[in-house]
Amino acid sequence: MIANHPEREQIRLENVLFALGNALRLEIVKTLADGSELSCGALRQDVAKSTMTHHWRVLRDSGVIWQRPQGRENLISLRREDLDARFPGLLDTLLEAALRNNWQE
C-alpha cells in the first residue's frame, strides 16, 4: 500500500466531506461506487496528471480511497466498508444526491 492511508478510526467526517466537495473527486467516487478497482489512467479523464495526483492525495489522505501500486500504475478503489462503518449511510446519501443533481442539470 501507499503511505498516508488513515486507519478506519482516524477517518474524520470533515475530511471526507471536504474531499467529496469537489466535483471531479465526487465523479471519481461515483465511478468507483460499484466496487471496482481501476487504474489512475482509467480514471484520469482530460485532466493533467499533476492535477489528478493532487486529487488522489486528497481522496487517499481523507480515507475515501485505497491506492495500491500495481506495476507502473496505481490501482484505486473506494473504502466503502470503512466509510460505512464510520458514517453509516453517508456515502449512499451523498451518491444518491449527486445522481439526482446530475439528472436535474
pLDDT digits (tens, 9 = 90+) for 4-57: 799 999 999 999 999 999 999 999 999 999 999 999 888 877 888 899 999 999
Q: What is the DSSP letter of 35?
A: S
Number of residues in the chain: 105
Residues in contact with 15: Cβ distance below 8 Å, sequence separation at least 6, in sequence order: 61, 62, 63
pLDDT digits (tens, 9 = 90+) for 75-105: 999 999 999 999 999 999 999 988 887 654 4
Q: For the purposes of burial, counting CB atoms within 10 Å of the CB of 15, is it exposed (0-12), middle (13-18) or buried (19 or more)? A: middle
